[in-house]
């Protein structure tokens, strides 16, 4: 079994310990680079999505949202549609909310759950095979399927019912590249051909050998650079523009299946992501899905 915890630790090192301490000039240059990026604002074409897709209304205790289901991911679209028509989501909670990331719901155990109850493990008793589509990205408003982690779910199969809606934030060029760098690291270390790197990483971590860890990091930076550059260069210009001016969470691309998009109710989404949360990122005051219903079919 792959040591995902150790890999996650290394990702943290890439963004902290291996970097030299910033000088005032570094900070000024970094800010200037961000300010000098020139992107015209872009807004997703929600009118076209509404016209060409099945539309579901999600009525919550904080207001209404509408999502258009993607025809590019038919297994997830049809499953979500089936559950909505059965009333499966009625009375469930948005049980996990992380500001500037996403709001998550669809756990059947959240219905009438006690305030202290841990949530997020429930489902309909089945999963769905991943449907990764090159044209679907984790922009702000993306509707996607939750899933268990790679260590127990190497095929990245989706939960049968749990979903999330991305809130995210704006991603300038450096932020987008940083996120793709993490994906490159995880991809490289998850490959069994690179097991020697994982073993060295675990050994150095257990010994607390920071000097050896930094040497390994420099080696890995060289190894992953071609993949890292490829990930960035393969992104269409419109995708970079959308992440920079509309926002989202690009680290999740090709990791979780996107099957729809929010076409109205962004004010409600923003209100929900602002709520106070406690243990397990569960809202202190319940945010309930009062009802989900189909309001337009193809």
**Is residue 110 exposed (0-12), middle (13-18) or buried (19+ Cβ within 10 Å)?**
buried
Q: What is the pTM of this model?
A: 0.84
Bridge partner residues of 145 (DSSP): 163
| Rounded Cα–Cα distance for residues 139 and 130 (Å) | 18
Three-state secondary structure of 14-27: HHCCCCCCCCHHHH
pLDDT per residue of the chain (298 residues) written in tens, 0 to 9: 333 444 444 555 444 433 334 344 443 344 344 444 678 999 999 999 999 999 999 999 999 999 999 999 999 999 999 999 999 999 999 999 999 999 999 999 999 999 989 999 999 999 999 999 999 999 999 999 999 988 899 999 999 999 999 999 999 888 888 888 888 888 898 888 999 998 998 899 899 999 998 899 889 989 999 999 998 999 999 999 999 999 999 989 999 999 999 999 999 999 999 999 999 999 999 999 999 999 999 8
Q: Which residue ranges form the domains of the chain, and what is each CATH number?
A: 4-36+172-233 (no CATH), 46-170+246-296 (2.40.100.10)
∠ CA 108-109-110, rounded to 5°: 90
Q: How would DSSP label each residue in 121-188?
A: ---SS-EE-----TT---BTTEEEE----TTT-TT-PEESS-EEEE--B---HHHHHHHHHHHHHHHH
Pair 179, 250: CB distance under 8 Å? yes
| Rounded Cα–Cα distance for residues 196 and 189 (Å) | 9
| Rounded Cα–Cα distance for residues 183 and 177 (Å) | 10
Specify the DSSP class assigned to residue 67. E
């Amino acid at each position: 079994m792959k040591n995902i915890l150790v890999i996650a630790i290394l990702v943290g090192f890439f963004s902290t310990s291996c970097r030299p301490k910033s000088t005032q000039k570094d900070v000024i240059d970094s800010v200037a680079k961000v300010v000098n990026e020139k992107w015209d604002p872009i807004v997703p074409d929600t009118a076209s999505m509404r016209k060409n897709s099945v539309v579901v209304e999600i009525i919550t205790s904080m207001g209404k949202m509408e999502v258009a289901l993607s025809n590019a991911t038919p297994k997830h679209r049809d499953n979500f549609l089936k559950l909505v028509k059965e009333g499966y989501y009625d009375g469930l909670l948005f049980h996990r909310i992380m500001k500037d990331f996403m709001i998550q719901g669809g756990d059947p155990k959240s219905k009438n759950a006690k305030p202290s109850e841990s949530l997020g493990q429930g489902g309909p008793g089945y999963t769905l095979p991943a449907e990764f589509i090159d044209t679907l990205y984790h922009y702000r408003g993306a509707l996607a399927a939750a899933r268990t982690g790679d260590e127990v779910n190497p095929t990245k199969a989706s939960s049968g019912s749990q979903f999330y809606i991305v809130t995210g934030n704006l991603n300038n060029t450096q932020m987008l590249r940083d996120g793709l760098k993490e994906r490159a690291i995880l991809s490289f270390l998850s490959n069994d051909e690179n097991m020697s790197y994982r073993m060295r990483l675990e050994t150095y971590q257990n010994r607390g050998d920071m000097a050896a860890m930094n040497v390994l990091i420099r080696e890995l930076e060289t190894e992953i650079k071609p993949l890292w550059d490829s990930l960035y260069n393969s992104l269409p210009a419109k995708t970079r523009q959308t992440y920079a001016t509309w926002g989202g969470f690009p680290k999740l691309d090709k990791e979780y299946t996107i099957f729809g998009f929010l076409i109205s109710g962004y004010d409600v989404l923003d209100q929900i992501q602002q709520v106070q949360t406690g243990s397990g990122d569960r809202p202190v005051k319940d945010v309930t899905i009062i009802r989900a219903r189909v309001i337009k079919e193809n």
